[in-house]
Amino acid sequence: MAVLKIGVVEDELVIARTILNTLDELGYSHCGPAITYTEALEMLEHDKPDLVLLDIQLAGRKDGIDVAQKLNEADPVPFIFLTANSDADTIDRAKKVKPHAYIVKPFTKEELFAAIEIAFSNFTGKQTGGKPASLATSSTRNFMFVKDGYVFRKVFFKELLYLESDANYVTLHLASQKKVMVRSTIHDFLEQLEPGLFIRIHRCYAVNINHIEDIFPTEMALQGVKIPIGKSYREELFKALGLPES
């Protein structure tokens, strides 16, 4: 899964440093911080972030809303306003430039993560008629965050054995024998994972190919757990693993 590059426009350097550290913890790439309108435009031109975290109050005459207007005029990039100002006048000005999210300081790591993921997903969905666009960067993550109740849990791909679907929920079975349930269809969840690492073997199951131990005529074993192989998925499975189907 490609890593989002997040541009940070924030004139309070202590806050900017906190944001950058949080982005590191969440596994994002980043550029900045830019502290003025001019620096923000230079960062956008040279670093080409996938999404921008934009403080409304900036050093200088022009503020973050001016930056947002420029973003809307140039090649569109999703942006999220981060601000301590939640008064009606500020919100009215901000609404006119159509931000993809608006977070009032102080905010938590979980709130920032949710805002970034939802804003980028909604933006790319609109740009491509509902199909997520490929990300601009070539780096790859070896983990993802999934929401488990009110907590975002970090899950490493190498620790994820298999997915088990039940209607609109997917249970993630980990090598540690822990389970995490997320609200999603198995099809949508697989689109978030690294291509080629996970493969659908049944309408209700997808597996991490690195954890496959044995393959039987109608099932396979992963860490001692046996999972059925659906007839319509068998051919694709054998092809992916380079096995003769006989």
> Do both 46 and 120 map to the same domain?
yes
Entry pTM: 0.57
Dihedral sign, Cα of residue 115, residue 119, residue 122, residue 125:
negative
For residues 123 and 15, state if they share a domain. yes
Both 149 and 104 in one domain: the answer is no
**Residue 136 falls inside a structural domain:** no
Distance from C-alpha of 246 to C-alpha of 244, rounded to nearest angstrom: 6
- Whether residues 182 and 217 share a domain: the answer is yes
Cβ–Cβ contacts within 10 Å for residue 49, how many? 24
First to last CA, the chain: 34
What are the residue ranges of helices labelled H in the chain? 13-26, 37-47, 64-73, 88-96, 109-127, 186-190, 231-241
Tell me if 133 is assigned to some domain: no
181, 231 contact by CB (below 8 A): no
Q: What is the identity of the amino acid at 56?
A: I
**194 falls within a domain:** yes
CATH number at 9 reads 3.40.50.2300
148 shares its domain with 210 = yes
At which of 69, 92, 127 does a domain end? Answer: 127
Same domain, 112 and 33: yes
Give the domain extent around 233: 144-241
Residue 93 near residue 64 (C-beta atoms within 8 A): no
Domain count within the chain: 2
- pLDDT digits (tens), the chain, 246 positions: 467 899 999 999 999 999 999 999 888 999 999 999 999 999 999 999 999 999 998 888 899 999 999 988 877 889 999 888 767 787 788 888 988 888 888 888 888 988 888 888 778 765 544 433 433 333 456 777 777 666 677 888 889 999 999 988 899 999 998 888 887 889 888 887 877 889 999 999 999 999 999 999 999 999 999 999 999 999 999 988 888 876
